[in-house]
Structure 1
Amino acid sequence: MEAQNKKKLWWLAAGAGALLAARAINRKLNAYDFRNKVVLITGGARGLGFVMARQLAKEGARLVLCSRDEIQLENARMELAGNGADVLVLPCDVTQQALVNEMIDTIQRDFGNIDVLINNAGIITAGPLEEMTVQDFEEAMQVHFWGPLYTTLAVLPAMKARGGGRILNIASIGGKLGVPHLVAYSASKFALVGLSEGLRAELKQHNILVTCASPGLMQTGSPRHANIKGQHEEEYTLFKIADSNPLSSISAEDSAKQILDACRNGDAEVVTSLPAKIGAFVHGLSPEITTDFFAVLNRVLPGPTGEKRSQKGFESETSLSMSDLTERTQKAEYRNNEL
């Protein structure tokens, strides 16, 4: 009996090893060279989008960045072009389908066919559910779901005609775990995760591989652009400290590298940062554990004020939010064109 058990364990180990080897071979076969590829990054003028643009530029990609902020776009263009990158910047509001279609037509006419689409544009509205309005949910869905859908639909005909392409959707760990005080954000990111998985299943037959990234907290410098509701200063200070703490977040550069490697290898999904990976794993085993944990966390977060007014993070700064506790985020603001 003992010999039979050992034999079963051996075959089990051999099978697991074969699966890992097959996965490694598959990743190598699917490895994508970004050199000379036209890569469109929505929300590419600052934060994670800009960090990915820098890394792709070093690999020789031809970059197209879009954003609603023309000043930030020009700043991004000057840095990238000054370092030798081939880059085009275009102002665009991705929540408007007509503007998205016009942008894609311009890129394909003046710069070349889009090989890689990175749907990165995003917004964050933080605060208690009682302070959220239907408009907050609608805006989150417009940016995180409809925007990626519009751009995807616009690039698909040319990708199909050429027989391949890559689509990278930047979701969030908030799209796998429902996070208190970020309910609108989480709900819209859940929608993007579902969209990504369905698109991957249908588009793989056309050699178009869809990757969904679910990063945890990153030191991008973006909290200052968040919409803050409720007790503005308290809410923002906690958010910024968590964003800067190395125990709860990782650098934007490390996260971008992991995300682009997943896209390069045609992976279906990538989760970055150890806390996010642990959270996703535990949630997969038992959603009750994570939701009960967040229920306890919610009790210690700043409560509602009775008004629904929002203000930007940079309008909610305190001495604590500008202290040594947030040094990493403050440095990232300068580094990643967030100011």
Structure 2
Amino acid sequence: MNRIMKLAALGVGGYYAYRALKPKYDYRDRHVVITGGTRGLGLAMARRLASLGARLSVCSRNAGDVESAAAELRAAGATVHAAACDLTHAVNIRRFLEESRRLGPVDVLINNAGIIEVGSLQDLTIDDFERSLDTHFWAVYNACQEVLPQMRARNEGRIVNISSFGGKVAVPHLLPYSVGKFALVGFSEGLRSEVASEGVKVTTICPGLMMTGSHLNARFKGRHEEEYAWFALGNATPGLSMSADTAARRILAACAAGDSELVLGLPAKLAVIAQAICPNLMSGVATLVNDLVLPKPGGIGANSVAGRGSRRLVNPALTAVPDRAAVRNNETGGQPLSAIL
């Protein structure tokens, strides 16, 4: 046993020594594409990349978000291509990436765009699941297919797929989100194996809760005010939730290191480990949470309301920190927080 532990320690030590000594990936003058790069985590990564000297292409469905994010990044000295783009249509992805190549071939693709819909299964529809798969899986698949030929030809490239710990552990009342993110994890992990020998490194990111400000733009169904309450308070809880800036720094470090996977946040790490080791126990815990804690079906049913319109049950003081993050990360559409709450 002692020998095994010594060998394990040597292996771990050797791995970290290798990471410390191998050449660092430099983002300076690299062309980085970030889908969903105009607000939330995507904007936090764009800001950091701008400070590192990268050329940036960012997109979002909302033209107002695109304009405000592009103006901020250019004011910081970055070279930016920005466009409004609905990624659920392959033709739009192709057009955006073709236009982005005016900044040069894509060195790094960060598939970050996402949507969140919250509600019980009885209040969800097939459209919710299709929307999630279109955004979290098919948009990623199509973007990768567009950039891979040039990356293969250069024998160099990096792809970062932002999934979620919800793509490792199914979360009640987030089933469409989990379905889309599970599909993304499977694709991302398999893709890494298939393109590694061609010089392309794929990194799968599974963040836990983050204070990006997304609680204001997530959509809530059924008893939408109760659904918003558990979702927003989880995002606001210290120790459970990570800042967008911290997450951005760690994600870009993982990409630079060529890591295969990064699970962000201790609670997320523990949940993923527990799911792998004792899935029956985790299933029982999830069932208890669903039955005893989460809202019952009803309310507005299959209709949905954004978080900013579902805040009645939550004291604003309890979400003050993520609310400030929403302003910083362009989740309020450039408006003062008081104008939308």
**TM-score normalized by structure 1?**
0.94
Gaps in structure 2 of 5+ consecutive residues: 333-341
Correspondence for 2:28: 35
Correspondence for 1:117: 109
Correspondence for 1:4: none
CA displacement at 1:12 relative to structure 2? 2.2
Deviation track 1:265-305 (CA, whole Å, cap 9, x = no partner) reads 01111011111011011111111121211111111211100
CA displacement at 1:21 relative to structure 2? 3.3
1:224 aligns with 2:216: yes
Deviation track 1:163-185 (CA, whole Å, cap 9, x = no partner) reads 11100000000000010000110
Mean CA deviation greater in 241-250 or 154-163: 241-250
**2:99 aligned to which of 106, 120, 125:** 106
**2:308 aligned to which of 308, 314, 334:** 314
Correspondence for 1:20: 12
- Secondary structure of 2:14's counterpart equals helix
**Bigger-Rg structure (1/2):** 1
CA displacement at 1:245 relative to structure 2? 0.9
Of all paired residues, the percent bearing the same amino acid is 43
Correspondence for 2:335: none
Quick one: distance in 1 between partners of 2:111 and 2:29? 20
1:192 aligns with 2:184: yes
**2:48 aligned to which of 37, 43, 55:** 55
Quick one: distance in 2 between partners of 1:283 and 1:256? 26
Number of residues of Structure 1 aligned to a counterpart in Structure 2: 329
1:333 aligns with 2:329: no
Deviation track 1:148-199 (CA, whole Å, cap 9, x = no partner) reads 0010000001111111110000000000001000011001100000000000
Quick one: distance in 2 between partners of 1:211 and 1:47? 20
- Secondary structure of 1:214's counterpart equals strand
Quick one: distance in 1 between partners of 2:239 and 2:48? 25
Quick one: distance in 2 between partners of 1:321 and 1:336? 21
C-alpha contact (below 8 Å) 1:27/1:266 kept by paired residues: no
Amino acid at match of 1:286: C
Quick one: distance in 2 between partners of 1:31 and 1:288? 42
Query: What is the RMSD computed on CA atoms of the aligned residues?
Result: 1.3
- Secondary structure of 1:166's counterpart equals strand
Quick one: distance in 2 between partners of 1:184 and 1:142? 11
- Secondary structure of 2:171's counterpart equals coil
Change (3 A) 1:192 1:313: same
CA displacement at 1:30 relative to structure 2? 6.3
1:96 aligns with 2:89: yes
- Secondary structure of 2:331's counterpart equals coil
1:147 aligns with 2:139: yes
- Secondary structure of 1:75's counterpart equals helix
Deviation track 1:236-285 (CA, whole Å, cap 9, x = no partner) reads 12211111111321111111111111111011110111110110111111
CA displacement at 1:220 relative to structure 2? 0.1
Quick one: distance in 2 between partners of 1:275 and 1:103? 36
